[in-house]
Amino acid sequence: MKRLGKYFQGYKVRTVTAPLFKCLEACLELLVPLVVAGMIDHGIREGDSAYVLKMAGVLLLLAVIGLVCSITAQYFAARVAIHVGTGLRRDLFQKILSLGYAEIDESGTSTLITRMTSDINQVQNGINMFLRLFMRSPFIVFGAMAMAFTVDGKAAILFAVTIPVLSIIVFSVMLCSMPLYKKVQRQLDRVVLMTRENLLGARVIRAFNRQSQEQEEFQREQDRLAAFQVFVGKISALLNPLTYIVVNLAVMGLLYTGGIRVDAGSLTQGQVVALVNYMLQILAELMKLADLIILMTKASACLSRVNAVFELESEQQKAVGLKEESNLAGDWQRQEGSNAKKGFLEFDDVSFIYPGSQSASLSHLTFSAEKGQTIGIIGGTGSGKTTLINLIPRFYDVRQGEIRIDGVPIWQMDVAALRAMIGVVPQNPVLFQGTLRDNLKWGKKDAEDAKLKEALQIAQAAEFVEQKKEGLDLRIEQNGRNLSGGQKQRLTIARALVKEPQILILDDASSALDYATDAALRKSLNEQNKERLVFLVSQRVSAVRYADQILVLEEGALAGVGTHESLLAECGVYREICQSQLGEEVSKDGR
């Protein structure tokens, strides 16, 4: 709730005005039974049709003013709710962007999407209804009771008994249903997760003809969600019959005692009708209050889910107490005066376990590299290649051992400054909707077209871009779906090159390229890499064999470090990989 407070800043007047107008509307509603009583007792009983018409006019006026109050209140409540929802969504989005891979892995993308969308909508809805009803409903309940006392004190005693009974019923039902709403929301997360996976994997699902299995699984999750909702619905459904029984009993009591007292002349017919009206008003308002509380319960469950994301540690928060050292980061040159070697990166006994994982994905890695070098990383699937390179830009933070750049542990560096030094080309190329120029400029906002074209040239992408008549204005569809896998890979390499990074990381970035293009790409990259440290992850020996240093990974550990020749001579794992790929060639010449 504390967090929510700041979003009401600048909207305080509207926040107060909405409930006040609702209270004004309630005041007018409380007058209606008195006016009707007057019509019956004076107008109808005495046959005074002018009085009846006058009172009808008063009723109409009350209705019109009430309507204006209601519309005004709803307008202000909606404005406040939308303002709060928008602010919350903006800040949550910013928070999600600030989270590290580990936190995103831990929460799960689907639940983050649900929190950004349906949870915040629920909070927004809750605020809207809260502003409209939180004062109005109690105001009517107590106001109607007070008015009943002014009509007839004795009869109103029935109200004093009925209201607590109704309140107990309403609140008991709510207490039972509240925890269940959290369950419903969790199950909704699962349904969203399944939907997302299915949409992302639509082609694979079709290729494997798994539509019916997926449909069944989805149906199971849906049924579970429906079962939770039906269960909560059943409990909530008890509310109406129970409250109506109590109210109808109270109305019967009112009519019975009222009838006797009308006969005795101590009460008028109009007063009995007014009392019944007040009783019905109380019932209607208690029902609204119950709905409001249920809505608020859902909204508060959703708000705590949103808050849970805000409470996750962002990457910046993790880097605590490191301000002075962070100034050291930025680029190779800023270490002048220190004894550390420039352009030097070292892994010192680094081990890494993914959060929630049982076993280490990397164990005791120690190696060093310097600018101008190309470091090849090779190993079987799941041997830890991607994990290793993900540690350099601090996508995950190392807890055991240390990674240093120019002698400064990277955990002491400002994350943004560290990443500014690094260009990453991920395994799965990701492009964003927009033009090719927009995408390439991600690395450097002010890059000239000539620079972009140069990067495309090095990445072996210039030719196919030239073939498209739009050139740099080529429209990239969502996820780059109008491009082939190899084209996307080359564009992501070009994007990283535009950044002119001091460390370039290519994670299996040429896997979709044919051998000739791959070789041409490596050749042109080599010519550019004099001032740069390049990490080249690949499953292909041909891609890493000319690297200055090759790291051979096996089950997260270094099985060997060296050049192609030295590893062939000394590292059994590397020899095996070479033999499996280069076959005869390796065996014959022993290289």
Which residues contact ligand ATP by CB under 6 A?
105, 354, 357, 361, 379, 381-387
Q: Which is nearer to ligand ATP, 265 or 356 (CB)?
A: 356
Q: Which is nearer to ligand ATP, 143 or 556 (CB)?
A: 556
Min CB(387)–ligand ATP separation in Å: 3
Distances (CA, A) of 250 to 62, 155, 160, 215, 320: 27, 10, 11, 52, 64
| Cβ nearer to ligand ATP, comparing 379 with 429 | 379
- DSSP annotation of 143: H
Indicate the helix (H) or strand (E) that contains 137: helix 136-151
Q: Judging by beta carbons within 10 Å of its beta carbon (0-12, 13-18, 19+), is residue 583 exposed, middle or buried?
A: exposed
Give the nearest distance from C-beta 120 to ligand ATP in angstroms: 27
Measured at the CA of 493, the angle between CA 489 and CA 496, to 5 degrees, comes to 140
Beta carbon of residue 20, minimum distance to ligand ATP (angstroms, whole number): 52
Closest CB 165 distance from ligand ATP, rounded Å: 55
Measure Cα distances from 570 to 162, 195, 505, 550, 582 in Å: 90, 50, 26, 13, 17
Shortest Å distance, C-beta 85 to ligand ATP? 32
Nearer to ligand ATP (CB atom), residue 94 or residue 428: 428
SS3 183: helix
- Of 82 and 360, the one with the shorter C-beta distance to ligand ATP is 360
Strand segments, DSSP code E, in 60-141 are: none
Please name which of 79, 10, 77, 65 lies closest in space to residue 32, comparing C-alpha atoms.
65
The distance of closest approach from Cβ of residue 561 to ligand ATP in the complex, given in angstroms and rounded to an integer, is 16
- Do residues 397 and 102 touch, judged by C-beta distance below 8 A? yes
Q: Which is nearer to ligand ATP, 83 or 385 (CB)?
A: 385
Least distance between ligand ATP and beta carbon 381 (Å):
3
Strand ranges (E), 382-484? 400-405, 408-409, 422-425, 434-435, 475-476
Nearer to ligand ATP by Cβ, of 145 and 392: the residue is 392
String of DSSP letters for 317-335: HHSTT-HHHHTT-SSGGGG
How far apart, in whole angstroms, are the C-alpha atoms of residue 243 and residue 172?
12
Cβ at position 102, least distance to ligand ATP in Å:
8
Residue 562 β-bridge partners = 550
The span from the CA of 365 to the CA of 558, in Å, is 6
Q: Which residues, 6 or more positions from 553, have their beta carbon under 8 angstroms from its beta carbon? A: 377, 378, 379, 383, 384, 385, 388, 559
Query: What's the full length of the chain, in residues?
Result: 591
Tell me the C-alpha distance between 536 and 375, whole Å.
Answer: 6
Q: CB nearer to ligand ATP: give 75 or 354.
A: 354
Cβ distance to ligand ATP smaller for residue 33 or 379: 379
Name which of 162 and 361 has its Cβ closer to ligand ATP: 361
> Which CB, 212 or 381, lies closer to ligand ATP?
381
Q: How far apart are the first and last CA of the chain?
A: 68
What are the CA-CA distances from residue 536 to residues 327, 384, 410 (Å)?
29, 14, 20
Return the structure tokens found at 29.
């509603």
Minimum CB separation of residue 396 from ligand ATP in Å reads 8
CB-count exposure of residue 430 (10 Å: 0-12, 13-18, 19+): exposed
Nearer to ligand ATP, 205 or 360 (CB): 360
Q: To 5 degrees, how large is the angle CA 280–CA 285–CA 286?
A: 100
Least distance in angstroms from the C-beta of 537 to ligand ATP: 7
**Shortest Å, Cβ 228 to ligand ATP:** 29
Taking the complex as a whole, the smallest distance from the CB of residue 197 to ligand ATP amounts, in Å, to 16
Whichever of 384 and 429 has its CB closer to ligand ATP, that residue is 384
The position carrying tokens 């060296």 is: 562
Q: What is the closest distance, in whole angstroms, from the C-beta atom of residue 509 to ligand ATP in the complex?
A: 12
Q: What is the 3-state secondary structure (H, E, C) of 232-291?
A: HHHHHHCHHHHHHHHHHHHHHHHHHHHHHHHHHCCCCHHHHHHHHHHHHHHHHHHHHHHH
State the pairing for strand pair 533-537/503-507.
Answer: parallel
